[in-house]
Structure formats: structure tokens, C-alpha cells
Structure 1
Amino acid sequence: MSLNDTTRGNRLHIGLFGRRNAGKSSLINALTGQHVATVSEVPGTTTDPVYKAMELHGVGPVMFIDTAGFDDEGLLGRLRVEKTEQAARETDIALLLFSGLDMAEELKWLAFFHRQKTPVILLVSRTDELADGGCALAEAVAKAAGSAPLLLNAADRQGVEKLRQELIRSLPEDFEQPSITGDLCAAGDLVVLVMPQDIQAPKGRLILPQVQTLRELLDKGCQALCCTTDRLADTLAKLTEPPKLIITDSQAFRKVYPLKPSQTLLTSFSVLFAAFKGDIACFLQGAERLLKLQSDSRILIAEACTHKPLQEDIGRVKLPRLLRSQLGADLAIDIVSGKDFPLDVTGYDMVIHCGACMFNRKYVLNRVQQCQEQQVPMTNYGLAIAALLGILDKVSLPNGH
């Protein structure tokens, strides 16, 4: 990834949902102007969701998601529908296609999106195949759903421009990504980034949060100075004045904190991403409750990445070791990765999430909402590590938190 790329997690996710052969794949091809999704008269052609990154005029960088029909059948069909449900949880704007007068399933999905506070655009597609151009179906949809759908014919792009305009009008009010560093630094400030180059950052590469944070600092007009943990003392000694801010990898808090000048703010990439990707107020409360857990408590650690477990892996090795050393050796810890997040977390006393640089904010906030509804505290790696090391009140949080 280059510094100029918009990552998948920072794109507006637009999901297409409907029955098999409702015209989802044809529509996504019409919207993108490319042959992105396979179109076939055979029901169930789309299996796993298809993701396509694009620039959409008037909207910006987007991620289209073409999903399997939610009326799919059989064991494999049920698995496909589960993938569709998963895609729905990361969708910022949903395009819901109606294809017949039996619309019970569509209305269930409409109710789901309303509960998730996801903007929904109702559509009647493939109007060229309907005797009256889809007018009767559109009238029935409007009566059942309480909102008139757009009429589309992807084959000749009829209605596609109206849909693009509706997408612009439907942009979530809070979609504008928050700043990563927030109010912790401003133009002209010197910021030191402590970036361990270990097994999790292979030679020749920086991990995504480091890249994104560095790019934002340059855009802000800050002076960004990078070093590894073992060179921090020497780096600080060479400066004529203390930096405004030090951003470190959370697992280096123990080494970095004693070296921090008294007037310099300290935070970590993971702490910054707690606000950038999730709900930092919720995560802060979770970190404070973490220290009250008992040795027989049960914790779920959730990683966004699905990489092969590494030696001294932060989520699978270092964090569990720190948790057990502080809270008790008998602590029960389960670990999930990628999108394998249980729908029922009530069996846990705490959920600790990674920085989620690979997920979009909508998906992380969906997990936050789930934990809140099930009354399970949630925090993230950086805040959890700071709490366990006893420096949570010494770590600076963005935007006044």
C-alpha cells in the first residue's frame, strides 16, 4: 500500500442486497462501469460477497459489496446468507432490491438496517422485464415499506444517475472520518513516532496504523520524526526541545513511558485507533473495568487480521501473558480473528479488540453496539495495556476524552 492509497477500511461501504436474480450483480456492474460481478440467469451465481474498490463521482472512494441472495437455500445457501448478514454489518449505505410482490424477506432486511441506523435506498431493478416498467411493483413497495423505490434498468443504465445522486444525499452524517490524532497535535508541532520493527512488521514494511498516522501528520503540517524503541533515548537527547507528542506501539509503553519528557504527551497507535475506528468513551470505561476482573473471569480477544499466528504475537501471546500476570494465571482467554466474532458474547466478562485498522468504522461500531446491548464491557489493545501497566491516566486521548 502506498501513502496515497485509500485503504478498504476507510472507504464508504455500499452493499447491494436482494433475492437471487434480483439484479444486484447487473446493478453493481452498471454503477462501476466495469464487469465486476458475474451476471447469470442461474440463481445463486454470487456466493461469497464480492468487494470492489472504486471512486464514485460526488461521493469519493467507496467499496461496493455484491452479496448472495438472501433467499438462498440448503446448507450452502445458509452459509452464503450468513456471509450476506456479515456484509450487512459493515455496510454504510444499503441498496435493497425488490423483485416481486412477496416482499416479506425484503421488509425483514429493511427493519434490520433501520435497527443498525444504516441508510437504505429502495430499488426496483430489471424494469425492462416487467410489463408496466415496474410501476405496479414500485407502488406496492411504497405502500409496504413507507417509501417509494427508485426504478432501474441496469442493462441500459436507466436510473443509474438518479441512484448516484441518491447515494450522495444518503451519506451518513457521521461518515466523515475523524482525525486519527485529533487535537493532540497541530501544524508545526514535533511528533516522535516510536515504531518497533519486529516480526509483526516484516523487513521493508510498516504496519498500516503507522502508515496512516504518518500520512496524517504530514498532511497536518507536523514535523514527524520516526525511531525504533531502542533508539528513543538517543533521539530525544539530540532534540533541542521536547516533542509535543510521542506516539508509540502499545506493547512498548513499558519502555517508552519512563523516557518521556514531563511536558510531552504520550499515546499509542492503538489508542488513537480506538477513537478513529470505534467508540473511545466506551473503550475507556471498559479499560477501567478490566482491572476489576477476577482470576476466574473469561475474556474474548478479537483481532481484525487473519494472519498466521506469529512468535510473540501481540494478540495471541503478549496480551494474554500480560493479562494473566496482572489478573491471575487461571484467566480464561478465547481469541477470534477476522470476522469470526460471536453473535452472543454474554459468556464473557470482557471483550478486548485490536485497533481494527483493517475494518471500516461502521463494522467496529456494530460490534460495540452488540457488546453494549449484551452488557459486556469492551476495550481495545492500547487502552487495556495502559490500564494493566498502571499508566492509563498518563496516556493522552484525542479530542478531549
Structure 2
Amino acid sequence: MGLMDTPRANQLHIGIMGKRNSGKSTLLNALTNQEVALVSNIAGTTTDPVYKSMEIHPIGPCVFIDTAGFDDIGQLGSMRVEKTKQAMEKMDIALMLFNNVNMDEEIRWIQELRKKKISVIPIINKSDVLDDLDELSSLVKSECKHSPIVVSAKEKRGIKELKEEILRQLPENYEVQSITGRLAKEGDVILLVMPQDIQAPKGRLILPQVQTIRDLLDKKCLVLNATVDNLDQALSSLASPPNLIITDSQVFPIVYEKKPESSKLTSFSVLFANYKGDLDYFIKCASAIDRLTENSKVLIAEACTHSPLTEDIGREKIPKMLRKKVGENLKVDIVSGTDFHEDLSSYDLIIHCGGCMFNRKYVTSRVDKAKNQQVPMSNYGVVLAYLSGILDKIDL
């Protein structure tokens, strides 16, 4: 599967980190063999993180993240460093650049990366101009417990060795998992019940549906698409019941009542809860809904940033269903995109979208944050199935 086949959120994310003027942008250009990032001798040329999707042999499709120097100064510098912290949440692997023996800041950032279970590759850059290369290599190896990769990004030396080290450091779960997992296999007939609300752009399918269809076609499944209003016709057109029905979470109860007994049932959102997040934790935490009161506080987190629309599942439907169960005074906060509170302790439940716009590392970093603060966290599809009373009846 190549770059054009793999959505950015599913690609390996490689962060390039270091102090200002350590050669991060030059390294990015050397790795991609393109002039992707602006290069200058002036410290602080890179401000906000630069994201670049590339197909890199022999790594495959990946996203490089060129970050601002974490020793940036002043008010703007602090804001840039904060952007680097946010970008760190998305990284699968971090390339940490060293080019002098004063490495306290690099070690501090490495400690934070390792706390987040992000693989770190130490790199000594600018080897073509360093006088104390042997001393620096020895110090980095001692501090990092890992021999550094020595490169000259400017002269493109050591790039082959760096790519080989990236391959060795690939996360265990890097290989792209199947969205439908064991629920679908070659030759199965799969019925997709598509959303009909106004969140689905006219003339287009939204990303979870596109990715699921691609996953099923790659498995050589037979795929039939329907909407809830022609579900009966779709079912009657089949010689035998579909092996699996994947539905829009919002119509779980309707589809459950109509589905043949032999057909398995799940939703796009539940599939993505497993593909991107921690399905077991989401299911375990769904019962927290029963402990909510009118004095409780719920956080709804959606990956997409869009203007609120009528019938919005996260902003309208789920809050309405929760308030119907708990009481109208239930407080519901909503965040979107990369906004996510550091302190979650005031919330009694977090409900996250499917996360199709995020990579798995970023979604699981949010789950870990919730777990560490002992805050229950679930997912749109799981919550809707729980509120509909059929969570124990769907296939996971």
C-alpha cells in the first residue's frame, strides 16, 4: 500500500527534534531528498511544526514532523515550544539531534518521549564541521544508552544508516491493521448502512466509510451499500443474509431490529474505536453513564474541526440523549481538533469520536492521559450502543 492509498492518519509519524539551528530542517530535506523545509543559518527559522507526507524507501509511507527548536525564547518562543509538545503526542518515532556537549535539554525531552512510549533515535548532525565528534558520540551513548547515528545532513552522509535504524525502531503495531479485523474475510458479503444526516457532504462519503470500503475491497469481500430507508430492500435483494452489517451508529436500534439473526452487526465508530483507540477501555467505561447525575460534567472530543450543524452527532445527538437519561442540567463541554485539556480531573466521563483524522498514537495518548487521571473515557459508537441497550449484542 503506497502513499496515495494510505491516509495520513494511518502513516508512520516521525518527529525531528532538537535545539534551534541544529539542522532539523536540513535533515528533513536530506531524508525526503526534496527541499521540503526552509533552511537558514538564522536560529528559529522553523516556527510551527511542518508536516510532510512522503513515501521513503525502504520505510514506506510516513509523515515527517519538523519541529521548532525547543530552546526557543520569549513569548512567541514559548508558544512554539508548546506546539512542539502537541506534535510530540502524534509521534511514533522521534529523531533527536545533538551537536554539542550541552545536552541537558535534549535528555529532558528524551525522558518525556520515553514516558509516552515513543522510540527515540539519537543523531549527531553536522558531523562535517564538528571538532569533538568522538567525545560527543561517547557522551550521547552514555546518556541515551544507545549509540547515536552520525550524519551530515548537509552533505547527505549517514542518511542510509539512519533509514535502516528507523526500520529497526518501528513500533510493534506499526504494520497497518485491518479496520474490520476478524469480522470480515475473503468472500464475505458485507452490507454497509450509510449515514444520511447533513454531516455527510453532498456527493461524497466521509472518511470512515471510505476507509472501511477500501479495507473490505482489499480483503476481496462483496460490498453492498444502503441507507436506512432502503435497508429492507437491500436485505431482500440478497440470496442469503449478509455475513456482517456495518451501520452508522446513530441508527443502531433500527438496524438491530431489522438484521437477520445470522448476520453480525457493528458500526463504523466501533470499528474505529478498535482501529485507533482502546476498545476494551471504551467498553469498560461506558457503564460510567449510569453514574452520571445532573451535577456531572462530560467532555466530548471530536477530531474534526467544523462549524456546528443541526443533527451533529457529538454536539447535538449524544448530549441530548445523555440529558434525557440524566437530566437537563448535565454540563457538556466540547473540544475539537487538537484541543484537549491537560487537566481532565473535573470530568466524570470523556466521549471521543472515532478519531479517523488522527493517527493511533495520538488517540491512545489521549486514552493514556484519561487513564492516568482516572477519568472514564469511551467512544461515540460504544456510547450510542450502550444508550440503545445493545452494546452486549453487537460484534466487536
Please indicate the TM-score interval, normalised by the length of the shorter structure. Answer: over 0.9
Which stretches in structure 1 are left out of the alignment for 5+ residues?
Answer: none
Alignment RMSD (CA, Å): 1.4
Name the structure 2 match of 1:314. 313
Q: Is residue 90 of structure 2 the alignment partner of residue 90 of structure 1?
A: yes
In structure 2, distance between residues paired with 1:18 and 1:130: 16
Deviation, 1:103, is 0.9
| 1:251 counterpart residue number | 250
Q: Which residue does the alignment assign to 1:343? A: 342
In structure 1, give the amino acid aligned to 2:69: G
1:138-166: CA deviation from partner (whole Å, max 9, x where unpaired): 22222222222111101110111100100
TM-score (norm 1): 0.96
Cα distance in 1 for partners of 2:94, 2:173 equals 16
Aligned residue number for residue 26 of structure 2: 26
> Could you tell which deviates more after superposition, 255-264 or 362-371?
255-264
Partner residue in 1 for 2:118:
118
1:323 counterpart residue number: 322
* Contact map agreement 1:38 1:46 (CA 8 A) in 2: yes
**2:293·2:327 contact (CA, 8 Å) conserved in 1?**
yes
Q: For the Cα contact (< 8 Å) 2:196–2:227, is it kept in 1?
A: yes
Give the SS at the match of 1:215. Answer: helix
Which stretch shows the higher mean deviation, 322-331 or 165-174? 322-331
Counterpart residue number, 1:384? 383
CA positional deviation for 1:265:
1.1
**CA positional deviation for 1:344:** 1.0
Q: Name the CA shift for 1:97/1:3 in 2 (closer, same or farther; >3 Å).
A: closer
Query: Does the aligned pair in 1 maintain the 2:151–2:158 contact within 8 Å?
Result: yes
User: 2:154 corresponds to which residue?
Assistant: 155
Once the two structures are superposed, the pairs formed by residues 292-303 of structure 1 within 5 Å of their partners are 292-303=291-302
In structure 2, the residue matched to 1:182 is: 181
How far apart in 1 are the matches of 2:202 and 2:142?
A: 59
Correspondence 1:131-146 to 2 at 5 A = 131-132=131-132, 134-146=133-145
Describe how 1:359-398 pairs up with structure 2 within 5 A. Answer: 359-397=358-396
What CA distance in whole angstroms lies between the structure 2 residues aligned with 1:194 and 1:100? 58
Deviation at 1:102, TM superposition (A): 1.4
Aligned mates of 1:336, 1:51 — CA distance in 2: 22
Task: Give me the whole-angstrom Cα distance separating, in 2, the residues matched to 1:287 and 1:378.
Answer: 8
In the other structure, the counterpart of 1:269 is 268
Aligned pair in 2 of structure 1 residues 122, 358: CA closer, same or farther (>3 Å)? same
More displaced stretch, 230-239 vs 354-363: 230-239
Report the alpha carbon displacement of residue 4 of structure 1 after superposing the two structures with TM: 5.3
Aligned to 1:283: 282
TM-score, length basis structure 2: 0.97
Distance 1:3 1:152, change over 3 A: closer
Deviations 1:155-211 (A, max 9, x none): 110111100100111101121232111111211111100112331111111011101
Q: 1:248–1:256: 8 Å Cα contact kept in structure 2? A: yes
The 8 Å contact of residues 3 and 211 in structure 1, kept in 2 or not, is answered as no
- Cα deviations across residues 204-244 of structure 1 (Å, max 9, x unaligned)? 11011101100111111111100111111111122221111
User: Is the 1:123–1:151 contact (alpha carbons within 8 Å) kept by the matching residues of 2?
Assistant: yes
Q: 1:248-284 deviations in whole A, cap 9, x for unaligned?
A: 1111213222111122111100000000001110111
Aligned-partner Cα distance in 2 for 1:107–1:4: 36
Report the secondary structure of 1:236's partner residue: helix
Aligned to 1:239: 238
**Contact persistence 1:98–1:125 (CA under 8 A):** yes
Aligned length: 395
Structure 2: how far apart are the matches of 1:327 and 1:65? 43
- Quote how far apart the aligned CAs of 1:363 are: 0.7
The 3-state SS of whatever aligns with 2:181 is coil
Q: Which moved more, 1:385-394 or 1:231-240?
A: 231-240
Q: Is the 8 A contact 1:3 1:212 kept in 2?
A: no
Q: Identify unmatched segments of 5+ residues in structure 2.
A: none
Q: 1:390 to 1:288 in 2, by over 3 A?
A: same
Bigger mean CA offset, 221-230 vs 24-33: 221-230
Structure 1 window deviating more from structure 2 (25-34 vs 121-130): it is: 121-130
Go from structure 1 to structure 2 and tell me whether the alpha carbon gap of 1:3 and 1:246 turns closer, same or farther (over 3 Å shift).
Answer: farther
Structure 1 residue 95, shift from structure 2 partner: 0.2
Structure 2 residue identity aligned to 1:124: I
Q: Does 1:226 align with 2:225?
A: yes
- The DSSP-based 3-state class of the residue aligned with 1:273 is helix
Give the aligned residue type for 2:160: E
Please tell me the residue identity of whatever aligns with 1:227: A
Contact 1:291 1:388 in 2 (8 A): no
- Does the 8 A contact of 2:3 with 2:55 survive in 1? no
* Matched letter for residue 6 of structure 1: T
What SS does structure 1 have at the residue aligned with 2:37? coil
Identity %: 55
Q: Distance in 1 between matches of 2:214 and 2:250?
A: 22
4+ runs deviating over 6 angstroms? none
Partner of 2:168: 169
For 1:129, what is the secondary structure of its paired residue?
coil
- Structure-to-structure mapping, 1:56-75, within 5 angstroms: 56-75=56-75
SS in 1 for 2:91: coil
Aligned residue type for 2:181? G
Write the deviation string for residues 333-378 of structure 1: whole angstroms up to 9, x where unpaired. 0000011001110110111000000000011111111111100011
